[in-house]
Amino acid sequence: MTETKPKRPQQVFTLVVEVGRKAGDGLPAKATGAALMLYASGVDEAEAVREAVAVLKEAGMAPLDVTGHGTAAEREAAGHEIGPEEHALMDRARADNAVIVAEVTPFFD
């Protein structure tokens, strides 16, 4: 008899990813890189980070560093206010098991 592990539910994590330049990355011509705020689904933050990095690489970007800011519940417990638009994007990331880029802030020297 094979035991099956209980399936862990998908959660959505808020991540900030710093990216460098790469040909065809879609960033403004004079940008030196960018910070991307995104929502990524995963059973834990490590999986969400792996998925986000893989999606960004596939999209032709050059991820350099990832900072996790936790789930909506963790962020709210820390005093962050999360508006309805942000909750809607998180719900979409969970429903679609996706990585959603919510904001791109290019860096210029």
Share of residues in the chain with pLDDT > 90 (%): 89
Domain boundaries, the chain: 11-107
What is the pTM (predicted TM-score) of this model?
0.89
CA atoms within 13 A on the CB side of 23: 0
Residue-level pLDDT at 1: 56
Q: What is the pLDDT of residues 47-60, one digit of tens each?
A: 999 999 999 999 99
| Higher pLDDT, residue 3 or 42 | 42
CA-based nearest residue to 48, from 6, 17, 83, 3: 17
Q: What would the two tokens of residue 65 be? A: 């560093």
- The mean pLDDT of the chain is 93
